[in-house]
Amino acid sequence: MGVDPAAAIATLGRRGQTGGVIEPFALVGRTVVLEPLEPTHVDGLVAAASEDRSTYGWTRVPDGVDDMRRYVQGLLADAAAGLVVPFAQRRLSDGAVVGCTRYMELRWWFGRPFPDEVEVGGTWLSASAQRTPVNTEAKLLLFAHAFDHWHVQRVQLCTDARNERSRAAIARVGATFEGVLRRHRFSHAPGEEGQPRDTAVYSIVAAEWPDVRDLLHARLAAS
């Protein structure tokens, strides 16, 4: 049975229209495993975040045990409300927890059990895991699950419009730049917390996924 266009238009963009809470699951690669975020990850995340904080100028990365505990508790509350699907990133070579990432902005258009659009975001890595295959493979795992299992129409990636390093990293994973949304989200830059920022928006749509998948596999093979 096909989708009723009028019903689809009426529900387009409604977050969580029918999907509700998505049960936690793991995504396993060769260099990294994305584990469902749990309170037991707090100590490992504190260690990861404390390696070198000089690269976190644009990103919300908790500092210290209490801050990290509040951060994890907040993400778990959002997960219980069906707003996010959060993961801890664990490097397989040494078993170290090296950061966080999540699905967010889940949207259901067509009344299916799984979302039709998601954003991959809230990503941060320890200094030792940055510019390694960990990020590339984590993105591959997240994109593959979204497109091949959930059959989403679109995966979105966003960053502060001034964050050139993050924008370059997003472009390297094959996402297409769509534009800048002005005063779109809160800034995490020092001294600007709670102030609106401009957001650079990128996306991958379902028709582009095979080429993006091949690109990411080639990058991993080369590394």
- Alpha carbon 191 to chain centroid, angstroms: 25
Is a pLDDT exceeding 70 seen at residue 110? yes
Distance separating alpha carbons of residues 40 and 38, to the nearest angstrom:
5
Whether the model clears a pTM of 0.85, i.e. scores above it, the answer is yes
Q: Give, rounded to a whole angstrom, the gap between the first and last alpha carbons of the chain.
A: 45
Give the domain CATH number at 154. 3.40.630.30
| Tally of CB atoms within 10 A around 221 | 8
pLDDT confidence bin for 77, thresholds 50/70/90: very high
Per-residue pLDDT, 50: 97
How many structural domains comprise the chain? 1
Structural domain for 71, as ranges: 5-222
pLDDT-derived band at 21 (thresholds 50, 70, 90) equals confident
pLDDT for position 55: 87
| Of 53-57, 125-129, 131-135, minimum mean pLDDT range | 53-57
For range 112-124, the mean pLDDT? 96
Q: Determine what percent of the chain is predicted with pLDDT higher than 70.
A: 91
**Side by side, which strands form the sheet with 154-160?**
27-28, 32-36, 85-91, 97-107, 117-125, 154-160, 196-205, 176-186
Return the structure tokens found at 213: 């998948």
pLDDT class for 7, splitting at 50, 70, 90? very low
Identify the DSSP state of 99: E
Q: What whole-number distance in Å separates Cα of residue 213 and Cα of residue 140?
A: 7
Cα dihedral sign for 97, 35, 31, 132? negative
